[in-house]
Structure 1
Amino acid sequence: MTSPLPTPAAKGATWAVAARIFIPALWLGLIIGISFIEAPLKFTAPGITIPLGLGIGRRVFFAMNMVEVLFFIALLAGSIKRGVDKMWGWGVGAVGLLLLIKTVAIRPGLSARTDAVLAGSSESGSLWHYAYIGVEFFLFIALAALLVMATKRWVRITSR
């Protein structure tokens, strides 16, 4: 019976295995906590006005986006270190593309919309919000798929 522990040569890549499991899990938790729970509830809290909620949201989502970029870099590094099969490569590529769309295309539109609302020249709500929610949903699905793939691979390796 062989040990499920990595061989000395493979020990250097154990961080990469951990990254392939823990980064998607942590990222999913971030999306659930911020996008799916905090953001909708923020505007129902007593005393939170639209300008105050938008100001808080702007800071929270900027910080979240920076963490997501770091998560993606770590996920990419772990993928390169560990080796990439076709499905994993497509999954990481999809996550990267969705993060790029969210960061480069949608967040600037949301920021301009927030500026307009805060200046009083527009009402709240826009298509940018729906685009963000849609991209966030697909990012959630892609990260969940990566987590399932990584966990299945880990279970398969450790059960040998």
Structure 2
Amino acid sequence: MNDPLAGTEPAPEVPDPVGTRPEPVLPAAEGPSATTRPAEAPPAEGPARLRVALSERPERVLVEIDGVLDYETEGRLRGALDGVAAQPGRRFVLDLSRVGFLDSGGIGALLAIRRGVLSRGGELAVTEVSPMVARLLRMTGLDEVLLPGTGC
């Protein structure tokens, strides 16, 4: 029988950028002491993919967010701000310049933070955004809410 794929090279394996495929496993060596081990370290998961740094002063709080802000990590951002008081006249400044990925969970966290700060008489300003975040905020119309007057 003629095989239409005979003589063709197999397609190269494309790396999975979000780590959803199972880890590749090396075949076990022969013998009783053989073990199976992952071929590479697993991707960073959960809160380890997000770092939040706070710089708090009486009149303002600088919140620097670095990494992936998504449904798995948004709790870390909210948790970092739990103990920080929003009060009349206090300004919260969010720096999103090092956010490499943002999904609906991350957007929900940003909007919840905004709502909480404003409800207590504080102010919220997003001063820096990464190109990916700027594009997403424009596409969703949230640039008008989170970045008013910047035309990001």
- The bucket for the TM-score relative to the shorter chain is under 0.3
Higher helix share: 1
The normalised TM-score by structure 1 is 0.24
Bigger radius of gyration, 1 or 2? 2
The normalised TM-score by structure 2 is 0.25
Higher relative contact order (CA 8 A, sep 6+): 1
Higher strand share: 2
